[in-house]
Structure 1
């Protein structure tokens, strides 16, 4: 990570809390005690997401430790640059957040493997954040170009993740429970790393193994809310793309949650206690405009007046409604709004990072700040308010040497935020 220019104590603690949150979200070792009985037939691993490759490697290791009999095979698709070595499961890389042809080809192969599963086989689905874009197989009547265009519009709209994924499911031939339907009558077990507020398994990765009966009217309402106007043929295709009700004798899918945003915050809270700080978990499901959440958290910090050093911890997934071409993600935007609202108040510092290691479309996970930020910005000729107005937080924190850069973390439990408040 980048070395901070000042206040080593606060910046080091903030980074250590982020590191504790990341460690809690790694899939290695988390399959122990959660494996189903070995099947008589094949073990077929299918997965998608930013953590898909690391989950596949951890699952293979768990099979080895358990002395798993029989054959293991499969395919997972992850973001470019997020590959890790595996022995049995093929790893394919594709584009995120806007899908590409590599993701479409991988999704087609994954669906074919699911269709080929028999009643003696076990299908293991590995799902993590990012699967919605990576597992991109358009429904009948929808093209990849249609999905790309609507996905770009959704990303710029400021829509929360559950609304974006409702639209994505309506466009998909594999998400919203369609992978589960393809795999039946095989037993299906899904392992999940959550990146969504509330850990709704139907929203995480758009729920490829979670049956969905979203009303087309609800999807149409989302499109209207954000002024999105796909072609009529795309609307008709989405309306026709409904799952039939599952038969009464269909076995329910088993779902295991490996890591969640709450677990990450609890790990950071324990690390704070060890360091002598009082942790307060504000919540793991904050949504809304990043600027507004940052300002609200500034008010909390200013009103706190703690008797002992306190750290405010939070997670979730804020949004940025784009109106320009600035560089930066929702964590940088949140942090810049927070720092501006604090106006250089002494004794308060903070960090905001995406646990996948990528905030927005840049190379950083996020950024950090301390009370010296406003003075340092003036000295460097950096107008923080102007950068915020242009959604250009990356450039501001880059010029001031306060970016946090990790590279791909191979997991994803969404955003991590910590605010240190000294008495």
Structure 2
């Protein structure tokens, strides 16, 4: 079982609906198993390494690879992210005695599964000294590699926080400010764009360190990566190994200056932008055309949402994928989808019950100056639960469950102090407000403060998974009975 506290979650409220919703989430998460999918992609037979046989995973489009390990001197594995350890474990098992060394950085509290690859813990979403130390280890191994070596990289979402080796003149405190601005304004673009100019790892810079070695790059993010079709892609990504993209400082800085957060950037960063110091610019795309590298995406969000849909059908419900990559503010998404669920229950349209409506993607929560602790899926669930319990679309026939697929929805107590606590999401039904009143919890006040975690924990409605090994954004299901 991926969901560790299932019995607690189905011990109250709409027990039948809660059990169905949790089973559907389990089906989606299991379908995107990173260890199993990495082993499908990479196989070792004697001293030959086979990479491929899975066209859907081939992002760079260079085709299957056969590597004679007798012609390779050293094999390294490096990476970082919220969901890379299971892929690294697969590589450790596949490579066996041919693995020379490796290092990955994972989020604090994650169980260490590896025997030969060094694991460093760092903080997410706001990086710490462990994050910087881990990034330095990756760069050190990458710089060792020669033309006779092979380097595997494993990067996922979260890598920008877990491998943030600051550029010269930039401090960890500067990075803290930038990440907190992203949380304040609810905009990941603050990290993916300004931050990309101040990393010695991101925007493909890690690939510079790897040269002249050959690299095989396993990548994971919420959406599908751009297919190359014979050219270096112009899109950008959080994933550090991905090429730099088309945007550069001369185009970006005018856009940055127009944003409300620009004046809040650290002085050292604003100084670089104001001087248009191109020594901080991203590597040119042409540089990547001469590198010996390939990119593969062993798991993606479509596997996850399809796995959830298939599980719903097995359980006797209509499984409907409403949107595989929904991007919106959490509370607004909850409001719209709640009304669709009510329409199903009341009028049997667009789907007659029993039905499971499934969405994936990546929601956001602009917190402003609020001091609460939560996450986008916890807030989604709590907001929908409040609507189920009172008002025009109140219902006892709808159950909603939402999780971050990596098992860590929001910062947990990193931003609140106290004992480490990080939930994957939440499950709610029409009993929410009655249970909250009995517990002395004002749900609407907690939502206003973006404080979803502790109310859900106290109401035995917070989903706990621990690290799932995957990182494909959100998975949400609304069961209408």
- How far 1:191 moved relative to its partner? 0.6
Moved more, 212-221 or 90-99: 212-221
Q: How big is the shift at 1:56?
A: 0.9
- 1:66-120 Cα shifts (integer Å, max 9, x gaps): xxx7443211111111243223211111111111112112212211221221112
The aligned residue for residue 54 of structure 1 is: 86
Q: What 5-or-longer segments of structure 2 have no aligned partner?
A: 43-50, 52-64, 228-234, 413-421
Question: Which of 264, 279, 298 is the equivalent residue of 2:319?
Answer: 279
Q: Does 245-254 or 21-30 show the bigger shift?
A: 245-254
Preserved CA contact (<8 Å) 2:236 2:242:
no
Residue of structure 2 in register with 1:391 after alignment: 450
Q: How do 1:328-339 residues align onto structure 2 when only pairs under 5 Å count?
A: 328-339=374-385
Aligned match for 2:428, one of 342, 366, 369: 369
Residue of structure 1 in register with 2:403 after alignment: 353
- Counterparts of 1:114-263 in structure 2, within 5 Å, are 114-159=142-187, 161-194=188-221, 196-199=222-225, 204-216=237-249, 217-218=251-252, 221-222=255-256, 224-229=258-263, 230-237=265-272, 239-240=277-278, 241-245=280-284, 246-247=286-287, 250-251=290-291, 253-263=293-303
Q: 1:370 to 1:200 in 2, by over 3 A?
A: farther
Q: Does 1:21 align with 2:28?
A: yes
Q: Return the alpha-carbon distance in structure 2 between the equivalents of residues 252 and 313 of structure 1.
A: 40
- Structure 1 residue 252: deviation in Å? 5.8
Quote the offset at 1:28 in angstroms: 1.4
The C-alpha deviation readout for 1:266-290, integer Å capped at 9, x for no partner, is 1111111110111111222222211
CA distance in 2, matches of 1:54, 1:294: 32
Distance in structure 2 (CA, Å) of the matches to 1:397 and 1:125: 37
Q: CA deviation at 1:374?
A: 3.0
User: Is 1:303 aligned to 2:343, yes or no?
Assistant: yes
**Offset of 1:163 from its aligned partner?**
4.5
Question: Bigger CA drift: 261-270 or 283-292?
Answer: 283-292
Change (3 A) 1:211 1:410: same
* Alpha-carbon distance in 1 for matches of 2:449, 2:442: 11
TM-score w.r.t. length of structure 2: 0.81
For 1:205, what is the secondary structure of its paired residue? coil
Asked if 1:413 is matched to 2:420, the reply is: no
Runs ≥4 residues deviating over 6 A: none
Instruction: Output the CA distance in 2 between the equivalents of 1:248 and 1:395.
Output: 47
Asked if the contact 2:220/2:300 (under 8 Å) is kept, the reply is: yes
Match of 1:43 in 2: 75
Q: For residue 94 of structure 1, what is the aligned residue in structure 2?
A: 122
Q: Say if 1:247 and 1:327 are closer, same or farther in 2 by CA, change over 3 A.
A: closer
Q: Is the 8 A contact 1:298 1:339 kept in 2?
A: no
| 122 and 264 in structure 1: CA distance in 2 versus 1, 3 angstrom threshold | same
> Which of 359, 381, 384 is the matching residue for 1:314?
359
Q: What CA distance in whole angstroms lies between the structure 1 residues aligned with 2:292 and 2:323?
A: 31
Residue 29 to residue 72, structure 1, CA distance change in 2 (3 Å):
farther
Length-normalised TM-score, structure 1: 0.91
Say if 1:243 and 1:170 are closer, same or farther in 2 by CA, change over 3 A: closer
In the TM superposition, what is the alpha-carbon distance from 1:296 to its structure 2 partner? 1.2
Contact 2:74-2:98 within 8 A present in 1 as well: yes
Whether the aligned pair in 1 keeps the contact of 2:224 and 2:300 (CA below 8 Å) is: no
In structure 2, relative to structure 1, the CA distance for the partners of 1:256 and 1:235 (3 Å cut) is same
Instruction: Give how far 1:334 is off.
Output: 1.1
Q: Secondary structure at the match of 2:34?
A: coil
Q: Does 1:33 align with 2:27?
A: no
Q: What is aligned with 2:232? A: none
Aligned equivalents of 2:297, 2:36: Cα separation in 1? 13
* Contact persistence 1:318–1:330 (CA under 8 A): yes
3-state DSSP class of the match of 1:111? helix
Q: How many residues align?
A: 416
How far, CA to CA, are the matches of 2:16 and 2:452 in structure 1?
Answer: 24
Answer whether contact 1:198 1:285 (CA < 8 A) is retained: no
Contact 2:204/2:242, CA 8 A, preserved across alignment: yes
Tell me how large the CA RMSD over aligned residues is.
2.3
